[in-house]
Structure formats: structure tokens, C-alpha cells
Structure 1
Amino acid sequence: MRNLKGLLFGVGMASMLFSACDTKHAQLTVSGLNPTAFDSIINGKKTELITLSNQNGMEVCLTNYGGRVVSIVVPDKNNQPADVVLGYDNLAQYADTINSPSDYGSTVGRYANRIKDSKINASGKEYHLRANDNGNSLHGGGNTGWMHQIYAIKAKTDSSVVFSLTASDGENGFPGTVKATATYTVKSDNTLDIVFEATTDKETVINMTNHSYFNLNGDPSKEGFDQVMYINADKFTPSDKLYIPTGEIKNVAGTPMDFRKPTAIADKYDTSFNQIKNATGFDHNWCLNTYKNGKGDDKTVAASLYSPRTGILLEVFTNEPGLQVYTGNFQGTGIACKHGIKYPKHVSVCFESQKYPDSPTKIVAKTKGWDISNPYLKPGEKYYSHLAYKFSVQETSTK
């Protein structure tokens, strides 16, 4: 999904007091990050860089600012380390929502994606949410949503970290005090495994996801449309010009939305197709074949991305019914990002596992086909969402 360009205000530099550590002699991560560049105090809470790794050359760096993935390093076909996600190399840029707004790598909540007209109905009452996207609510309110909150580090090992967050009743208009966790684990098979969990004391909506932007080519200074994509979905949900689903569920067959066979993204980029024209690329929800009879199969590949340049294959697994796929349509802002690189438009692909966009509205309206995407969570219930990114090296693209 697109960056929140021009929509994020307020958290920023005024509340940030940076540590006075000497960074000249700090040991860099494999991805070239300086951990001290992430040491800060924001609104009285400490931020830091967490490094996870395994014995097979995989390294994942995260910060508790927004529960964000900052870098993912995996070996390429020449066994050379490649950083495959976009981001910044310092906390200042992540926190500066005016000059460098982004959702890079964030743990999104309480509701990922859009809610039409910024309102929901819970327990028979209408709640008005913070509008931050053309009158609609996007990613839980944007700069005051979870992607710009400081997560507590509940537990940490060499290969795993648990972020926790308590969101207050009324936060950005949402009902209920929510206690949420996001557990990131680097596994021995080069999988970054992510588990989101939450509880509430009032009926509310929950829809968490990770928002990492992938470029597997090893050179994020160039467009990434030569990457080969696969999406295990027969149907998708068309959207209007404001990215709100129309309520229809359409077949991908015979359209540029059909990625049931691995295909270079460029080969499907047909701007005569209104859905691609409206979004200037892909920014849509696919209805995953891996979700059936009310249950998601998180052992079967939901989507994949492959780089013929590096041989790196990314496979995506989830128990969620939908996958929002975004192809960096609003990148290319000229902002210097990680290691000073200026990312061009269409440089990356984001896989957001989640409930269908605007599910709160569609569920209340009893829109046909949206019943499998119920985002409402009641007291006593537990929210559980699983997302996994598995990396390997292949000679050719596979599922």
C-alpha cells in the first residue's frame, strides 16, 4: 500500500531527544546499520535497534519505533549478503513524519488498510475514527497509529523479539483498550516468522500486518518491475479511485490481476486496465486460495517474489483471507533513504496479509463474500494472525 505521503503529521523531531553516544566506533550490522543511530528517547520511551540472526547468513534488524523491520539480509546466488527491504538507516528519518513520512517495515494496527468514511459500528454504537486519507481512515490513523508508537520490548533472544503495545480506549476514535503483541523470529530455514496477537475489553476492530517493502534485486536505486511475482488467488476485490473496495469480488482470469503463474510484474503492467490506471500500478487486495472454510492454510504459499538477478526467492505464508499487494506506486519522492539511496517509483513490492480492506463497513452492510473477513474482536476473544517470509536461492522462479 502506498506511503502516507503528505498525510502524516505531528510525531516528529520536536519530541525527539537523541542520545549523545559517540557513533564513530560503533560496530555496524551486516546490513551496514549503525545501532547507535537508533538510540533515542521519544515521549519518555527508549528506542533501539534489535538484531536477529541465524547460522545461515540471515540477519534481520528491527526497531521498537513502530515495531519496524529495518533490514533483512539474506545470501544471494553468489552467497553474497543482500539487503532486500527498503527503509532508513537512522531513527530520525523514521520519526520525521513531515519530511520523510513512511510506513517502511512497520507493525500496522489497530486496523491495517482503509475504512470508508472513517467510521465503524461496534456493540450497536457508531464510532468516528481519525480521518487521514481523503476522508477515510488508513492504517489506524497514520502518524498517530501504531506505526509511530514505541513498542515495549517484552522479550528478546538472538533470534526472536516480542514487541508489545497497549492502545487506549478512544485512541484515534477506536473503541476498547487493546493489548497487542508482535513476535518476530528468524528461523533456521531463513524464514522471518511473524505472529500478531491481541485482546480487547470492548468490541473493536483488529487487523494487524507487517508493512515491509521488498526489492530482491540487490539494487534499490532502480525500478523493480523485472521481479517475478506469483499470487495464489483466483479472485480480487476491485477498488475505486480512493482505493476503497467497491464491494465486488471479481475473477482474475483474463485480467492483468492474474498472477497464478509466476510472471514479471512489467508484463502485467497494463495502464489501459482501469484498476492499474487508477493506482498507477498494483495496490489491491487478492482473495487468497489458501483461505477456505473459515481457516487459512499458512503452510501453503500464498504469494512469492523472485529476482532473476540475484536468484533470491521470497515465499509468503499467512492464515489471513486477503493479501494487499502494493508495487511502490507512490515512491520516487527524491528522499535519500537507507545508505543515501533515492528510491524510484515501482522499486518494491509490499505483501500485506490481512482482512479485506474496508471489512468493517462491508460486514455491517452484509456485503456478499465479506463474511470470511470479519475484523470485529469481542472481549474474551483472542486475535491471532500469522505471516511468514521465507527466503531461498533458486535457479528459476517457482511457487
Structure 2
Amino acid sequence: MNRLIGLIALVAIVACTPKQKETPEEPSTLSGLKRSNFQSSLNGDSTDLFVLKNANGMEVTVTNYGGRIVSVMVPDKNGTLQDVVLGFDSIQGYTSVSNNLGATIGRYGNRIANGKIKVGGVEYQLPQNNYGHTLHGGPEGYDTKVFKAVQPDSQTVVLTYLSKDGEAGFPGNLDVKVTMNLTNDNAIDIQYEAETDKETVVNLTNHSYFNLSGNPGNTILDHLLTINADEYTPVDDTFMTTGKIDKVKGTPMDFTVATPIGQRIDDTTFVQLKNGKGYDHNWVLNTKGDISRVAATVVSPVTGIQLDVYTSEPGLQVYTGNFLDGSMTGKKGIVYNRRNAICLESQKYPDSPNKPGWPSPYLKPGEKYTSRCIYKFSVQ
């Protein structure tokens, strides 16, 4: 009898105990990302993930850590959304290993010979982080900085950063503004602005790693590449531009018609492919800063996804992921191996501060630096 009374009492207690509310699961982005995994504090600055969506259902995510594009979801030839850029699932992925995946690059994108520039008659020594040269602003370039971010609408994020005088050796306090807008014609329109209080050099770009197959476990060697350029700037075996401008005609650098990236990439009898370990070169664009003309086109024969690049800059660095080596594991646990992506970086020519006659990267007080790059997606 006592056991029965005890059982009745227990049932009564359970029945009267209020049920705890279940915590709703955090929604994911279309690319499977959790915003909370990007919300952190780095040296007192807050990081976050910003989601852009357009009327067509395309989605782009951006983190203010390094001003990085994290994911780009675009429809393939079957209407299935595919993520076409490399990246990580969390802020820790970006901070735990040195990388520039998707990053805003500055103060000077690409290489500066021996890390030396002369501005206003004064020589400045910059950190040397690549074969004795300065690459992408040095080891603590803008890819390692936390930008302030505001999202004025569902299709735009505005990133700002004050690069202080002397940062990475560069002169002048530089106010940087990067506006990323996802347009309704499936383009990421990136507009750069900068102003300085002291003469300096500026060359901002984006370092997204594209794989239009939707699976970054695949190489991009089957992607068809077209570059609207009859000339390029050759490099030595330290990847530094020699100062020459050569013709592409009759060489593996000729992409004036659509050509598989892998068709000639390992032809090391051509010294430029040997020096660059593949393609890692600046093309001198025929577009000459005309943003309405296509600078380059990449197409995946697997998905039919096409990427057209437009830029106000005179040059485009094409890099075929030659140094991806399997040491990084990205979104969805996919390992990034050699030539799993292609980068298309709008820019002044590499080492322009030390190459008289090349497009000038100099910015003076009272002037405004502007640059624009559009990555437009469609289906072939």
C-alpha cells in the first residue's frame, strides 16, 4: 500500500511540474552557416556574419573579420543553389591559420619589391613576408583586421576601417570604406573608397577563391577561362614583376578565347609557368578601366555557372590556387587542395610604386581613392 501511495504522489508531482520551454534551433544560412559561430571578440572588436539576399534567392554572407566573403550561393543550370567560394564555418577557422580566403586586401594588394616604397621623397621599409617582398600588405594586412560594419538593407553591407599612420610601415592615416551590394541581376558589386591625411600608396582588392563546380574538393582545371587582355606582366622566380609587359599571343598566357585552365598550366618549358608554379600573374586588361566591359569570364562545364568580372582597375591578377596544400579544412569539412580554386583580383599592377610609367597607386590628402569590381553570376 505504501508503495502505491508513493507512486501516486510521484505521478502527481510530475504532472504539476511546468514543462521547460525548448530552445528553438538557430536557423542556418542557405550555405549552412550559423551566425553565432561568427560572433566573437578579437582584441576588443566584435565580429559577426552578415547575410545578403536578393530577389532571385541568391545569398552572399560576409564577415567583418578581414572584410571577407564567406559564402556565395548561386543557382546552377538545374536551378540548384551551389556555394561557389572557399571559406570556413566559423571565425576560429579564419583566425587559427594564416589565410586570405575571401578577404579585403590592403593597404597594397599583391607584391612590393623588397618591401620598399618611396613616398614624398621618403623611403619606407615594409614587412617582408613573401620571398623578401611585401605581399598583400604584409603579415598583418587588412585580412587580419576587424572592420566596423553596418547593413543598411538586406542586400548591402558597408565595412569601414581606419588604417593608422605607420601600420605595416605605410605612411598616412587611411580611412577605408568597402561597400558590398548584392544586386538583383546576381552580381556582387564591390566599391572601395579611401582618403588619407598624408601621401601614401593604395591598392585594394578582394581575394575570394572561386570554384564554380559547387564542390571545392574538385580542381578548377576544367573551368573555361577567358581574359580580355593581349598583354601581361611577367615575373621572376620570386613572383616579382620584372618591369616588362609581354604579349600573350602564342603563349600559354593567351586566354583571349575560352580555354580550359588546365590545358597548359603545367607546361614548365614556358618559364612563366615554371616561375609562377602555374598561373599567378597580372594581366594588362584591354578594358582600360571601363567598368561596362567584361574583364574576364570563368565557366564550370559541370554546373554551367558563369562568372563575369568587371573592374575599373587596369589589371587583373589570376591565381589558380597553386599553394593550397591540404592544410586547410573548410566549410562542410572539405579539405582544400592544390588548384581547388581560382582568384580574380582587380588591381593596379604589382609593385607599381617602384615601376615608373605603370598606373599610379599614389594617393594625396584631399584626393579620394575609388575602385570598383563586380562579380556577376549567370548560367551558360
Q: What band does the TM-score fall into relative to the shorter chain? A: over 0.9
Q: Residue 376 of structure 2 aligns with which residue?
A: 390
- Please give the TM-score of this superposition, normalised by the length of structure 1: 0.88
**Aligned residues: percent identity?**
51
Give distance in 1, aligned partners of 2:99 and 2:117: 26
SS at match of 1:356: coil
Instruction: Answer whether contact 2:172 2:197 (CA < 8 A) is retained.
Output: yes
Q: Residue 154 of structure 2 aligns with which residue?
A: 158
Which protein shows a greater Rg? 2
- Residue 133 of structure 2 aligns to which amino acid in structure 1? N
Q: Residue 251 of structure 2 aligns with which residue?
A: 255
Q: Residue 268 of structure 1 aligns with which residue?
A: 264
Q: Residue 321 of structure 1 aligns with which residue?
A: 314
Give distance in 2, aligned partners of 1:388 and 1:268: 27
Offset, 1:155: 4.2
Offset, 1:335: 2.4
Could you list the runs of 4 or more consecutive aligned residues of structure 1 that deviate by over 6 angstroms after TM superposition?
A: none
Give distance in 1, aligned partners of 2:23 and 2:312: 42
Q: Residue 209 of structure 1 aligns with which residue?
A: 205
| CA RMSD after TM alignment | 1.3
Given the alignment, which residue of 190, 200, 210 partners 1:194?
Answer: 190
Give distance in 2, aligned partners of 1:73 and 1:159: 14
Give distance in 2, aligned partners of 1:253 and 1:23: 62
Q: Residue 345 of structure 2 aligns with which residue?
A: 352
1:87 has 2:87 as partner = yes
- Residue 255 of structure 1 aligns to which amino acid in structure 2? T
Q: Residue 108 of structure 1 aligns with which residue?
A: 105
Correspondences of 1:158-177 after superposition (within 5 Å) = 158-177=154-173
Instruction: Answer whether contact 2:50 2:151 (CA < 8 A) is retained.
Output: no
Instruction: Answer whether contact 2:325 2:338 (CA < 8 A) is retained.
Output: yes
The farther-off stretch of 321-330 and 154-163 is 154-163
- Residue 53 of structure 1 aligns to which amino acid in structure 2? K
SS at match of 1:172: helix
Offset, 1:156: 3.0
Correspondences of 1:94-133 after superposition (within 5 Å) = 94-96=94-96, 100-133=97-130
Give distance in 2, aligned partners of 1:177 and 1:359: 21
Give distance in 2, aligned partners of 1:274 and 1:44: 47
Give distance in 2, aligned partners of 1:23 and 1:113: 47
Given the alignment, which residue of 241, 251, 259 partners 1:245?
Answer: 241
Offset, 1:338: 1.2
Point out where structure 1 has 5 or more consecutive residues left out of the alignment: 1-21, 364-368, 395-399
Give distance in 2, aligned partners of 1:50 and 1:166: 20
- Please give the TM-score of this superposition, normalised by the length of structure 2: 0.92
Instruction: Answer whether contact 1:222 1:343 (CA < 8 A) is retained.
Output: no
SS at match of 1:162: strand
Q: Residue 309 of structure 1 aligns with which residue?
A: 302
Q: Residue 66 of structure 1 aligns with which residue?
A: 66
Instruction: Answer whether contact 1:328 1:346 (CA < 8 A) is retained.
Output: yes
Offset, 1:101: 1.7
- Residue 67 of structure 1 aligns to which amino acid in structure 2? G
Offset, 1:222: 1.7
Q: Residue 146 of structure 1 aligns with which residue?
A: 142
Q: Residue 52 of structure 1 aligns with which residue?
A: 52
Point out where structure 2 has 5 or more consecutive residues left out of the alignment: 1-21
Give distance in 2, aligned partners of 1:272 and 1:309: 30
SS at match of 1:388: strand
User: How many aligned positions are there?
Assistant: 358
Tell me: CA distance 1:157–1:23, structure 2 relative to 1, closer, same or farther (3 Å). farther
Given the alignment, which residue of 354, 361, 372 partners 1:375?
Answer: 361
SS at match of 2:101: coil
Offset, 1:177: 0.3
Instruction: Answer whether contact 1:64 1:151 (CA < 8 A) is retained.
Output: yes
Give distance in 2, aligned partners of 1:129 and 1:156: 36
Q: Residue 3 of structure 2 aligns with which residue?
A: none
CA deviations on 1:338-388 (whole Å, 9 max, x unpaired) are: 11100121111100000000001113xxxxx51xx1001011110000000
Offset, 1:23: 10
Q: Residue 334 of structure 1 aligns with which residue?
A: 327
Give distance in 1, aligned partners of 2:165 and 2:99: 25
Q: Residue 17 of structure 1 aligns with which residue?
A: none
- Residue 375 of structure 2 aligns to which amino acid in structure 1? Y
Q: Residue 18 of structure 1 aligns with which residue?
A: none
